[in-house]
Structure 1
Amino acid sequence: MADSLLGPSISFTFTLTFTRHLLFEKRKIRPRCSSRKSLTKSMSAATHCRCFSNPTHTQPSLLVFSGGTAFNGVVEELKNITTRVAHVLPVSDDGGSTAEIVRVLGGPAVGDIRSRCLRLSDESTPEALAVRRLLGHRLPLHPQQAKSEWYNIVEGEHSLWKGVSKPYRETIRAFLSYFQNEILRRPNESFCFSNGSIGNFFFAGARVFFQSLDAAIFLFSRVSDIPSESQVLPVISTNDRLTLGCELGDGTVIRGQNEISHPTNGSMEPVKKERSAVPALPSRIKRVFYMSSEGSNLLHEVFPTANSAVLDQLNAVDCIIYAMGSLFTSICPSLVSPYQFWSKIHFSMFMSILMFHALLFFYDNIDHLF
């Protein structure tokens, strides 16, 4: 789920302190403390140094593998260090508002990508904030109330449009209307708007219109005014539905991200490994893979091609980061084609990745698979 939990401050502090150490160690900038205020101050000083990948830039370039939720709390502060970040996200989420869109319209899951785009969006003007509020809005849980509010938004009469200029209004409304028309074209499928994300609906409308996930990301990035140096990349660039699966040690096959991963109640209580409200899997996870979403054999394994833009970034950045997130449903979906990825990485970068593995384990919710 893309918006439920941002992660505790200890994870945030460790992540940025560790990132700062690795990025600027050769620049002789010594960390002095790990508080957020001092971290931002020292990072602003660090940006006056030259990055390794391109001496003409003063900001380091990063490639971040993460989930759609856990790393979101770091994104806001990371912008104070560098905007030259490529965020790689999975497109196999099958929960929440995303699940309903995929059920009716098909295609890849857009919730995690939309969530990251919003975190990167501009907040410098009243209109930018108004656009962010609109695209970040969720409809009520009650189905009829949600449907009524949705129609109010599509018709341009909702108070959320206040502060949004006509060019932005007409652009956003056009793709919301297109999304609505696509739903109406499927009379055999009753769409539930409960807790629906306006940003997800806009994103889905753009993807179906352009028949391209990359084009939808480009449009969303421009509408939300993401820094031009920042990229949000699906690990697999596809216009088809992707389903995540896993095989357990006892041979059991589980289909769907929600069935693999753990639900969360959004609490921030300390982790207690001796107890968990999430039932344990019958056996440990042996491997994660993608499964067929069409045809009669839904347990058939498929091998989608990795996004070429991600492969290009692997050798172009100063550092690769494995950020916080559910290991098997947020990080592993980006690594199921190991040859395609690892054959692109120089040995020096591989060493950086080994060091960054520590970041995987500073997310205070338990994956019930361990």
Structure 2
Amino acid sequence: MSSGKPKGIVVFSGGSAANNLVDVFKTVREDKKCQLSYVIPISDNGGSSSELIRVFGGPGIGDVRSRLVRLIPDDPDHDDSEKAAIKIFFNHRLPKNRATARQEWMQIVEASHSLWTNISTAKKELMRAILNSVNFEILKRMRPSSTFDFSGASIGNLFLTGARLFTGSFESAIYLLSSICSVPNHTSVLPAINTNFTHHISAGLSNGTIITGQNSISHPSETTALDSTPLTAHEDTERHDAIEDANLPGTLPTLRKQYINFSKADEDDLPARIERLWYINPYGQEIRLAANPAVLSALTSAQAIIYSIGSLYTSLIPSLILKGVGHAIENAAIRYKILILNSTIDRETGPSATPFSALDFVAAIAKACAESKGSPADVHKLEYSSYVTHVVHLTGPGTPAVDREALRGLGIETIKVYGRRGEGEGFVRYDEKGLVQALEVTMGRGIRGRRG
């Protein structure tokens, strides 16, 4: 017997790019009066997350933290200074200078920092307890060969790490941060894998090159602490084995380096297209991992799946290749499987000489879902619509090419949305109202939109 409860919406996304569309998804959820679930990958090993992983191990938590903080409700009719203060607190990053960063960290844990202004005593002391707990763990792990580097560290990431270590549960840590941030019960942030361990990814290019680690795939880093004389692979491994941290002896050196400094703006083309992505163990061997059961449960009760904007191979694919996901998405009961196409081509969807088209994005998603099922990666084009039914896209210079007739021939509908160009930006962004309308029309509500 049906309970009459509306089926939910599941959004696959990464962190920063999709954060810009949170209000869009919120509006669509309100119209549907249903549950909204964000599925976030945990393979990020760049920025301050790299130092937390090096010292504590555990999943890459930066994207989970940023989505939870982004979901702090805004109420324009009420002056809620505490919610604003909590958002600033958990988004705060320490200075880039190592000594200055450690000094500011101590001001925070001692409650003498101005960030605590407007946060109530009850929440402040709870938050301080977790931050002092992670500070104690940092001190316990201090060794002559290894000390924690606070440079550019995210306070929210430190808090979520402390909560995970204190409770022994990633899921509980997310619940605690969700509660402090007043994230509504109808919206969930689900890590793609519910784990206390670190899971890395590798990408294989069409020329046979293999790139190991998410940061190296997506945002090459300014390498830190390199000797002037290049080391052999054996010497590099031995050097890292002499450092006492959370990594097992013999772990691939590229997975043990600090990637605190990197740029999202200056990206070199990859030498060839990415053809496949997979998970690896610390020694570089391929492994197959199961999805978070909560993710599979959300998919089972979903009316719609949305693949959000973001990095195709490091924001979407790591969640899609997990065991159980492909079968769940293929479910015919899910009527709408909507790809919101990126407005630009990035490092992962180049090189610039052969940029990805909309069909290439769809093919990558379909192949990832097939791999999730243990099927061959070469999916027949006529199967693409089992995983993507609609493509929402922009038009203009630099946007991925959309062959509407080819997609229609595969049973995939296209919806063109007019965008806006931000001040000083050389690319088109989605207009929130236009995107809401496109999604509502696609899912059977709203006035008829402009379709390709």
Give TM-score, length-normalised by structure 1: 0.76
Among 61, 65, 69, the residue aligned to 1:114: 65
Q: Distance in 2 between matches of 1:118 and 1:92?
A: 19
Amino acid of the structure 2 residue aligned with 1:102: I
How far off is 1:69 after superposition?
A: 1.2
Picking from 138, 155, 166, the partner of 1:209 is 166
Who is 2:119 aligned against?
A: 164
Match of residue 342, structure 2, among 336, 361, 369? 361
Map of 2:19 onto structure 1:
72
Tell me: higher relative CO, structure 1 or 2? Use CA pairs within 8 A at least 6 residues apart.
1
What's the C-alpha RMSD, in Å, of the aligned pairs? Answer: 2.1
Aligned partner of 1:198 in structure 2 is: 155
**Partners of 2:134 and 2:273 in 1: how far apart?**
40
What is the CA–CA distance in structure 1 between the aligned matches of 2:188 and 2:141, rounded to whole Å? 33
Number of the residue aligned with 2:443: none
Q: Is the 8 A contact 1:152 1:158 kept in 2?
A: yes
**Cα displacement (A) at 1:319:** 0.7
The answer as to 2:332 corresponding to 1:347 is yes
**Is the aligned partner of 1:155 residue 2:110?**
yes
Question: What secondary structure sits across from 2:189 in the alignment?
Answer: strand
- 1:228 aligns to what? 185
CA distance in 2, matches of 1:112, 1:68: 4
- Counterpart check, 1:82 vs 2:39: no
Aligned AA for 1:105?
F
Taking the aligned partners of 2:177 and 2:342, their CA distance within structure 1 comes to 31
User: What secondary structure, in the 3-state scheme, does the structure 1 residue paired with 2:278 have?
Assistant: strand
Tell whether the 8 Å contact from 1:247 to 1:286 is kept in structure 2 after alignment: yes
Structure 1 gap segments, 5+ residues each: 1-52, 268-276
How many residues in Structure 1 have an aligned counterpart in Structure 2?
298
How much does 1:368 deviate?
A: 5.7
| Deviation (angstroms), 1:222 | 0.4
CA contact (8 A) 1:261 1:368 kept: no
1:316-348 deviation per Cα after TM superposition (whole angstroms, max 9, x unaligned): 1221000001111111101113x5112224224
Match of 2:211 in 1: 254
- On the 8 A contact 1:135/1:197 being kept in 2, the answer is yes
Q: Give the drift of 1:282.
A: 3.0
Counterparts of 1:195-344 in structure 2 under 5 Å? 195-262=152-219, 278-293=267-282, 298-337=283-322, 340-344=324-328
Aligned partners of 1:215, 1:62: CA distance in 2, in Å? 23
Alignment correspondent of 2:90: 135
Larger radius of gyration: 2
| Aligned match of 1:16 | none
Deviation at 1:266, TM superposition (A): 5.8
In 1: Cα distance, 2:264 partner to 2:54 partner: 25
Give the SS at the match of 1:144: helix
> 1:222 and 1:254, CA in 2 relative to 1: closer, same or farther beyond 3 A?
same
Are the counterparts in 1 of residues 202 and 210 from structure 2 also a CA contact under 8 Å? yes
- When residues 342 and 336 of structure 1 are mapped into structure 2, their CA distance, relative to the original with a 3 A threshold, is closer
What's the CA shift for 1:223?
0.8
TM-score, scaled relative to structure 2: 0.62
- Cα separation, 1, equivalents of 2:320 and 2:24: 26
